[in-house]
Structure 1
């Protein structure tokens, strides 16, 4: 992957998707197979990274029948609890995925195909800030999967995390964004319920991908995608 390409951000380190193997037992879900460039689904695709036990994913899918949510969780016990509830609720517009989100996104998601991305209460990685989402070169790849006009929603109870994310959104990623406090009656995730119940402030950063935004991965697709047409 070379840097000799027009881009509308200031990230210098380039992510290397070709070095990532597919997750174990990888298979493309039907919604991805059917949502090709030639025949896009009428339901906008939404991605949630770090779905936990699925509280937000289940609620979102139930309340947005016109959208399809792909919700990824890598921790086995959390995913099993999530998948059990999803099966019980028979939500046809929800696809739970047990995998590492980075490897799975690389091998499953086409460029310019996701309408919205949720990253709700990620591990703050206070001892390894390079692993915070907006500090990672992977964030450029993630933006290449987002449609123009699409939105990334990051939520955390760590003020230093949201401060850094806001700074990175402005200075590195050049994304229009708005920062706000989460309402005290919000209940999207189990973490959110816990934090707000003990009167902690939770922060939300909404970032928008503007028209004409360029990355180094806008035309990059994994062979796993092409082989499942």
Structure 2
């Protein structure tokens, strides 16, 4: 399906927004209560992960568990992902994106991630050889995303069946226990891949980059 150009310049920064350090990071979009974020940051201390969650209740649950576990390489962010990413991330800054079991938008297919103009902007923030992992329990969602990768975005990917022993998110555990087929696409940004946003810089990033207070180890704030 044809996709119009994303209007990044029209995105307003989230309330109380602050920039992050201009360093390589991983980003999880729609982190929920943070099960995957906490697990990933524990298993990969060499990577910094920013976990974005829009729903306040889920964000607070993630924040509470983070305070107990205290991973210094995890930053939880309470925001809508699209404006936050536009204003916070620099071109080619992200090593890995994770979008695990997003809302399938059954009544609004244009709002699915690979159908949105925003997906081009997302790709501009990804490093060369960086990856984006998209997981779903809905075969039609994966099939449509796969078709978009081939026809629209022209990106290499690997499709995998998620093993029944996997337990990255609460949704994943529930779906696998019900015997549903869970699959993921691991999308790679190849060398030479370009978008119309490769030179787009957030206004704040042109002036100064400051560390957010939530980067502090939560145990230090107790």
Using the size of structure 1 for normalisation, the TM-score is: 0.89
Q: Which residue of 2 aligns with 1:76?
A: 56
Check conservation: 2:54, 2:80, Cα contact below 8 A: yes
CA distance change for structure 1 residues 213 and 166 in 2, over 3 Å: closer, same or farther?
Answer: same
User: Which residue of the other structure, out of 1, 4, 10, is the alignment partner of 1:19?
Assistant: 10
Distance 1:27 1:188 in 2: 29
Alignment of 1:109-120 (within 5 A): 109-120=89-100
Distance 1:126 1:192 in 2: 19
1:222 aligns with 2:202: yes
1:205 aligns with 2:205: no
Runs of 4+ residues over 3 Å off in structure 1 = none
1:117-141 alpha-carbon deviations (Å, 9 max, x no partner):
0000000001000000000000000
Structure 1, unmatched stretches of 5+, are 1-9, 36-40
Distance 1:129 1:159 in 2: 14
CA distance change for structure 1 residues 219 and 93 in 2, over 3 Å: closer, same or farther?
Answer: same
SS of match in other structure, 1:172: helix
Distance 2:121 2:2 in 1: 11
What's the CA shift for 1:87? Answer: 1.4
CA distance change for structure 1 residues 120 and 50 in 2, over 3 Å: closer, same or farther?
Answer: same
1:37-94 alpha-carbon deviations (Å, 9 max, x no partner):
xxxx4xx410100000000000000000000001100000000000111111111100
Check conservation: 2:120, 2:195, Cα contact below 8 A: yes
CA distance change for structure 1 residues 214 and 53 in 2, over 3 Å: closer, same or farther?
Answer: same
What's the CA shift for 1:228? Answer: 2.5
Using the size of structure 2 for normalisation, the TM-score is: 0.92
Q: Which residue of 2 aligns with 1:176?
A: 156
CA distance change for structure 1 residues 142 and 223 in 2, over 3 Å: closer, same or farther?
Answer: same
CA distance change for structure 1 residues 212 and 47 in 2, over 3 Å: closer, same or farther?
Answer: same
Report the aligned-residue RMSD. Answer: 1.2
